[in-house]
Chain A
């Protein structure tokens, strides 16, 4: 039990703050007997320290008293603990409570209702064992590696693209009025435009015989770790795709390239599948066995592949050559439309050149070997737009195109007829609505009569008027 002794003198000045009474108490320290109280001591303790700082210099006597208080406190606490257990035996507190039972009194009833102890599944505490989180650390490390690779890959692609551009800038600027277009009304920064981390494009325009040339640097995805791993398993190379829109060109479709590239083109491009699906081996044209040729008119293939300039560049380093696709019926890859398209896809005469970057393009200065490719491209642009077919080749091409036209018309006849029908009905319905909306019954009646007559005429049997020529 605690005994709190109060100094009577300072009572009337108490405010409601319970610490203030102790402050009063402090001042009386030297005169009254040493306090027995325990809890007040601890508050005393705090107040005294605060007070000490203020009155430290005048009275050093408090220091002696402070030390005594600390020791007291320690002792007092111990007594306090053992009071707790006797608490239960206190009769007034627990009415009707059989205290013997608590201390293990009678045997028999207790054993049946022995409480079944189920150990609750307490989750392991987070901080208790970090090492069991090895998988999370692995995942986090993977993320860090991914982002490091992203930064380095991005830089490498950027370096390669700018190196290529610097190497070819002079040649392009001498041939084109506009090199690089950033899409803004007046061009601020001509040059490479970044489409994605591994695709850069360069639009060149302002040259005779052509509308424009789109150069696309399709580099490897060095910034994506998954693609880098895929690249290790299935090696591929950086690609340079040049697409030229010609102003006018003779009618022919021609494609040649490595087996893989030509196969992909033949499968995807509508114009190749319609005009020259059959595949001829490259060595017939002196191209080398690994290349394949699709050509609608053999005359065109000869004109292109017998040209010694073209062959010189290709045969110098054949691994740089991927594919050519020259066509006046170019309409891009096949669209996967379910419904039969009602009109022919829009065609443009286009030349597409596909080249590969040299293997070690990043390491050594091997981009130099790509310059002849650009010169070859410009040479072929001029040559093909001036190429004139012989008469029979031209007629053959013409025949092919008209054949395709008819086949298309026949196939879509049903669909187009339906379309026309629905258009007509639509028109009629609108007209009827317009008439109905006019609240003038007279006009409505007249319109309905006219409609009736038209229906009758259509349903009536068709009679031919016979003209009898006077003998």
Chain B
């Protein structure tokens, strides 16, 4: 192996700065589709939690936004994360405001 120090000192090499791959290229480090899937899923669940007053949907929506938060990238925009949390929390609150009955699990016939 070339001896280490000689590697560094000779001037043939050039330092190239790191250029992160453009957003969304597959296979780039940190590219993780789960955060987008979970975001969409969370939106859908909180929508149907709000519209059809299904409480378990709103709870699942909260879990979806938590999962997408856990898997989010550092250079992700926090606005989307915040909006998905707000939506799912509002879904839960709204469904309990409308009828404060305890939640019926999905497998019981609604």
Residue pair A332, B29 in contact (C-beta under 8 Å): no
Q: Is the CB of B63 within 8 A of A181?
A: no
**A347 at interface (Cβ–Cβ under 8 A)?**
no
What does the 1/0 interface line of B1-20 toward A look like (CB < 8 Å)?
A: 11011011010111111101
Decide if B15 touches A197 in the complex (CB within 8 Å).
no
Given known pairs A135-B102, A135-B105, A332-B26, the reply for A143 and B18 (CB within 8 Å) is no
The CA of A332 and the CA of B18, in the complex, are separated in Å by 17
A146 with B15: CB separation less than 8 A: no
- Answer whether A147 and B66 are a contact pair too, CB < 8 Å, given A174-B4, A206-B8: yes
A378–B1 contact, CB under 8 A? Answer: yes
B30 contacts A by Cβ under 8 Å: yes
Tell me if A207 counts as interface (CB < 8 A to partner B).
yes
CA distance A135 to B108 in the complex (A): 13
Give the secondary structure class of B's interface. Answer: loop
What 1/0 flags go to B75-110 for Cβ under 8 Å of A? 100000000000000000000000111110100000
Q: In angstroms, how far is the closest chain B Cβ from the Cβ of A234? A: 15
Whether A379 sits at the interface, judged by CB under 8 Å, is: yes
Question: How far is the CB of A58 from the nearest CB of chain B, in Å?
Answer: 57
Interface residues of A in 147-177 (CB under 8 A from B): 147, 150, 174-177
Contact B14 A333 (CB under 8 A): no
Interface positions, chain A 176-235, Cβ under 8 Å from B, are 176-178, 181, 183, 194-197, 199, 201, 203, 205-212, 214, 216, 218, 221, 223-224, 226
Q: How many residues of A contact B (CB 8 A)?
A: 52
For B32, list chain A residues within 8 Å (CB): 196, 199
* A143-B62 CB under 8 A given contacts A211-B16, A212-B16, A333-B26: yes
Q: Which residues of A contact B18 (CB under 8 A)?
A: 181, 183, 203, 205, 212, 214
Interface class of chain A by DSSP? mixed
Instruction: List the A side residues contacting B100 at CB < 8 Å.
Output: 123-124, 126
CA distance A209 to B14 in the complex (A): 10
B102, A143: Cβ atoms closer than 8 Å = no
Residues from chain A with Cβ under 8 Å of B7 in the complex = 175, 207-208
A382 close to chain B: CB less than 8 A? yes
| A181 surroundings in chain B (CB, below 8 A) | 17-18
CB B69 to nearest CB in A, in angstroms, measures: 8
Flag whether B25 is at the interface (Cβ < 8 A). Answer: yes
Chain A: minimal CB distance from B28 (Å) = 9
Contacting pair B25 A332 (CB below 8 A): yes
The 8 lowest CB-CB distance pairs between A and B, nearest first, are A195-B30, A203-B18, A181-B18, A174-B4, A206-B15, A216-B29, A224-B70, A199-B30
CA distance A201 to B18 in the complex (A): 11
Whether, in the assembled complex, A139 has its beta carbon less than 8 Å from a beta carbon of chain B, the answer is yes
Q: How far is the CA of A197 from the CA of B59 in the complex (A)?
A: 24
- By a CB distance below 8 angstroms, the chain B residues around A85 are none
Alpha-carbon gap, A134 to B62, bound state (A): 18
Chain A contacts of B59 at CB under 8 A?
136, 139
- Which residues 400-419 of A have a CB within 8 angstroms of B? none
> Does any Cβ of B come within 8 Å of A133's Cβ?
yes
